[in-house]
Amino acid sequence: MTAVNSVTDLSRAGEIAVVTINSPPVNALSADVRNGLRDGVAKAAAAPEVKAIVVICAGRTFIAGADIAEFGKPPRGATLLELQGVLEGGPKPIIAAIHGTALGGGFEIALMCHYRVAVPSAKFGLPEIKLGLIPGAGGTQRLPRLTGVEKALDIILSGAPFSAQEALQWGVVDALVEEGQLREGALGFARKVIDTHMLPRKIRDLNEKIEAARGHPEIFEKVRRDYAKKFRGFEAWQSALRAVQVAVDLPFDEGMKLERQAFLDLIPTEQSRAQRYVFFAERKVWKIADVPEDIPVLPIRKVGVIGAGTMGGGISMNFLNAGIPVTIVEAEQDALERGVATIRRNYDNTVKKGRMAAADVETRMRLLSPGLDLGVLSDCDLVIEAVYEDMAIKQDVFRKLDRIAKKDAILASNTSYLNIDEIAGVTGRPESVLGMHFFSPANVMRLLEVVRGAKTAKPMIATAMQLARKIGKIGVLVGVCHGFVGNRMLHQRQREAQKLILEGAMPWDVDRVIYDFGLPMGPFAMSDLAGLDIGWSKATSKSSTIREILCEMDRRGQKTGAGYYDYDEARHAKPSALVEKIILDFAAEQGIKRRPIADDEILARCIYPMINEGAKILEEGKAQRASDIDVVWINGYGWPVYRGGPMFYADLIGPEKVLTKLKQFEVTMGAEFKPAPLLEGVVAEKKRLQDL
Ligand code: T1G
């Protein structure tokens, strides 16, 4: 074994040379890895006694892509063209030996090799689209030559990983070797290549499958139609489509050039910078400054859920999906049966969509134990309360829970707004109390706000965060304040939206601006979906807001076929002339002189106060970092990932621009726009929020 460089070794097994990459954590295709690969393979190829070369990685995975941290920095080290030269252009057969995840540039390196073998657990993919990029090392040119155009487009546009079995089926790998025996399996395959005189097979020369697509532009038209809705607002996917079309229409090297240029053009774009920022932001959330990564966590073998309503049911499904038994408790038999039936119905719908086997439903339902008495929760390691959003009711539940739950149980509340410390305060074990704020539908939404109380112990925090990862959530640690991070910022937007429709805009104007900005829906469509009567009561309603008036008229949202919008049978929303009249009359009664309001004012009034509130949240230490706030908004509120999140967006447009506008609004509209000192500071020091 000789070292080629700090991350690459070269060894021999008879006539076979083995180039081993070892650059933890994921063998990303950094400059050192590229140099090692280039020099290692070149050295092996130059050795007369070498008949074949195996490229393999140490550690947990084959090359998991280009080093994302290198993008936007001055290029250094071996280029991808050089690698193409020594790999695909090499004189001796090169076999890529794959385990873990061969993604992006890593998969493209494997496609530059002449043969590929993998262990059954390996995964493959081209996730560049998730970074606002396209494959930039031949993926759009080589993959369609192996799989055909439609499959290649699906792999590139979905960015989703696929299995080794699928890779074998689609001709992406030549053989699967025994799990855990990759090196031996690869050497065996190389042996066969030598013994059977198999020549270097260059994918660039395999044109049959792309020729089949030549003269069929309808293939691309169909894909453009199919993906248009999913990629609303995104840019990179069009470049990916064009690159694959070029692979069909042009000679290989011209296709490579165009792919490369399209890739390089996307790197500096705002969208790709935002999506790369989010990639790292979603990995930073797990790092908690004062909770060491090796702190002992509590085993969670059994979970209790109090409340079998929409949230309680969805929350339970997360744990059932992870194979963790759940005891779900309700006060009434009917409510309990309804809750359990809803869980089964949700699973049955997933089976109907072909995304789950019927047997798996039974496996999950067998892990679910319904109960009518809190006493059945006495042996749970974690109990999550998901009852009506009322402090007195929640405190009553926690008092009882404190008497019933076992000593080292974690007691969590799914409250969306309320003060966790006030809830913990009624127990004798506030150190074991925290918030686990799921987002509806709880079995679908990836975000979980883990709320740290003033006395919550560190092992409880670490356990909750680790559990979040186990149930497939992104856990974001937040502090106790009204509405935590997400809802606290949302309140700012909703407040301004309500004011805007009195001052001159209409609900559908505000919604259009927010929708065009990239969110799945605007504040009024969202309220209609959730129901305008959340927290509303007929007894106390005084026609003091548009929302109250609509509820009094039984226009409670989609569920009543009318709210801010009128809805047809298919629940398609239509601006309502009646609501327009209600708003005009109400504004007149309030003595509000309506005025034309431009779209950019609507956007600034809805977004900038959110950013300002985010700055206050950071000031108060209710979030660890600005990027955590962005992860909350992207995974909990549909903020478009290609805009990076509210705080990243502020940095993108310039914190000074946000500050100036807030100050203008403060003068004309009042103290609710008063800039946070932290924002003032960031501007004064010419810093960015994301650097805080
Ligand atoms: N570059 C730099 N760092 C990376 C990285 C990458 N490609 N992938 C992972 N890391 C870091 C990550 O930040 C974390 O660091 C640690 O590795 C573990 O990651 C030319 C343009 C491989 C499935 O998009 O999907 O190739 O937080 O926590 O859950 O066409 O990482 O510990 O300091 O995610 O086990 C395409 C990205 C790049 C794959 C492992 N490749 N990575 O998941 O661990 S673009 C990707 C992943 C490209 C070419 C183009 C996952 C993983 P830290 P982790 P994990």
> Which residue stretches of 620-654 are H helix?
626-636, 646-653
CB 331 within 8 A of CB 372: yes
Check if 28 has its Cβ closer than 6 Å to any atom of ligand 1: yes
Amino acid 537: pLDDT: 87
Amino acid 692: pLDDT: 83
Check if 125 has its Cβ closer than 6 Å to any atom of ligand 1: no
Which residue's alpha carbon is nearest to atom 35 within ligand 1?
26
Which residue's alpha carbon is nearest to atom 34 within ligand 1?
283
SS3 181: coil
Check if 583 has its Cβ closer than 6 Å to any atom of ligand 1: no
Give the H or E element holding residue 305. strand 303-306
CB 7 within 8 A of CB 13: no
Provide the mean pLDDT of the chain: 97
Q: Read out DSSP for 465-483? A: HHHHHHTT-EEEEEESSTT
Which residue's alpha carbon is nearest to atom 16 within ligand 1?
25
Tokens for 611, please give them: 């950013």
> If pLDDT is split at 50, 70 and 90, which confidence band does 535 have?
confident
Residue 518's nearest CA partner among 655, 620, 641 is 641
Residue 537 DSSP label? -
User: pLDDT (tens digit, 9 = 90+) per residue, 600-628?
Assistant: 999 999 999 999 999 999 999 999 999 99
Which residue's alpha carbon is nearest to atom 41 within ligand 1?
65
User: pLDDT (tens digit, 9 = 90+) per residue, 405-437?
Assistant: 999 999 999 999 999 999 999 999 999 999 999
Locate the ligand 1 atom nearest the alpha carbon of residue 139 and give its number.
30
Report CA(66)–ligand 1 centroid distance (Å). Answer: 8
CB 63 within 8 A of CB 28: yes
Among 128, 385, 449, 496, the active-site one is: 128
Which residue's alpha carbon is nearest to atom 43 within ligand 1?
26
Report CA(380)–ligand 1 centroid distance (Å). Answer: 36
* Bond before 655 cis per omega within 30 degrees: no
User: pLDDT (tens digit, 9 = 90+) per residue, 322-345?
Assistant: 999 999 999 999 999 999 999 999
Residue 131's nearest CA partner among 64, 85, 178 is 64
What lies within 8 Å, CB to CB, of 623 at 6+ separation is 476, 477, 478, 479, 485, 614, 617, 629, 632
Locate the ligand 1 atom nearest the alpha carbon of residue 60 and give its number.
35
Check if 651 has its Cβ closer than 6 Å to any atom of ligand 1: no
Check if 535 has its Cβ closer than 6 Å to any atom of ligand 1: no
Q: Indicate if the pLDDT at residue 66 is higher than 90.
A: yes
293 catalytic residue (yes or no): no
Q: What are phi and psi of 413, to 5 degrees?
A: -115, 140
Q: Indicate if the pLDDT at residue 72 is higher than 90.
A: no
Report CA(133)–ligand 1 centroid distance (Å). Answer: 14
Residue 118's nearest CA partner among 46, 66, 170, 71 is 170
Amino acid 612: pLDDT: 98
Q: Read out DSSP for 269-288? A: SHHHHHHHHHHHHHHHTT--
Which of 83, 283, 469, 474 to mutate to test ligand 1, by most ligand atoms within 8 A of the CB atom?
283
673 vs 496: CA distance, rounded Å: 10
Check if 64 has its Cβ closer than 6 Å to any atom of ligand 1: yes
Report CA(62)–ligand 1 centroid distance (Å). Answer: 11
Average pLDDT over residues 484-510: 98
> If pLDDT is split at 50, 70 and 90, which confidence band does 361 have?
very high
Check if 57 has its Cβ closer than 6 Å to any atom of ligand 1: no
Locate the ligand 1 atom nearest the alpha carbon of residue 279 and give its number.
13
422 catalytic residue (yes or no): no
Which residue's alpha carbon is nearest to atom 27 within ligand 1?
283
User: pLDDT (tens digit, 9 = 90+) per residue, 317-326?
Assistant: 999 999 999 9
Check if 104 has its Cβ closer than 6 Å to any atom of ligand 1: yes
Amino acid 75: pLDDT: 87
Check if 133 has its Cβ closer than 6 Å to any atom of ligand 1: yes
* pTM score above 0.85: yes
Average pLDDT over residues 44-68: 97
User: pLDDT (tens digit, 9 = 90+) per residue, 85-123?
Assistant: 999 999 999 999 999 999 999 999 999 999 999 999 999
Report CA(123)–ligand 1 centroid distance (Å). Answer: 14
Nearest 5 degrees, angle CA 490-CA 493-CA 498? 125
Report CA(262)–ligand 1 centroid distance (Å). Answer: 22
Specify which residues 369 forms β-bridges with.
Answer: 327
For β-strands 382-385 and 447-452, DSSP reports them as: unpaired
Amino acid 379: pLDDT: 97
Report CA(584)–ligand 1 centroid distance (Å). Answer: 53
Average pLDDT over residues 396-404: 98
> If pLDDT is split at 50, 70 and 90, which confidence band does 534 have?
confident
Average pLDDT over residues 341-365: 95
418 vs 451: CA distance, rounded Å: 11
Report CA(44)–ligand 1 centroid distance (Å). Answer: 29
Check if 67 has its Cβ closer than 6 Å to any atom of ligand 1: yes
Locate the ligand 1 atom nearest the alpha carbon of residue 106 and give its number.
26
Check if 69 has its Cβ closer than 6 Å to any atom of ligand 1: yes
CB 33 within 8 A of CB 64: no
Average pLDDT over residues 471-496: 98
Locate the ligand 1 atom nearest the alpha carbon of residue 135 and give its number.
30
Q: Indicate if the pLDDT at residue 247 is higher than 90.
A: yes
Locate the ligand 1 atom nearest the alpha carbon of residue 61 and give its number.
22
CB 521 within 8 A of CB 657: no
Check if 167 has its Cβ closer than 6 Å to any atom of ligand 1: no
Tokens for 437, please give them: 């704020």
User: pLDDT (tens digit, 9 = 90+) per residue, 163-197?
Assistant: 999 999 999 999 999 999 999 999 999 999 999 99
Check if 65 has its Cβ closer than 6 Å to any atom of ligand 1: yes
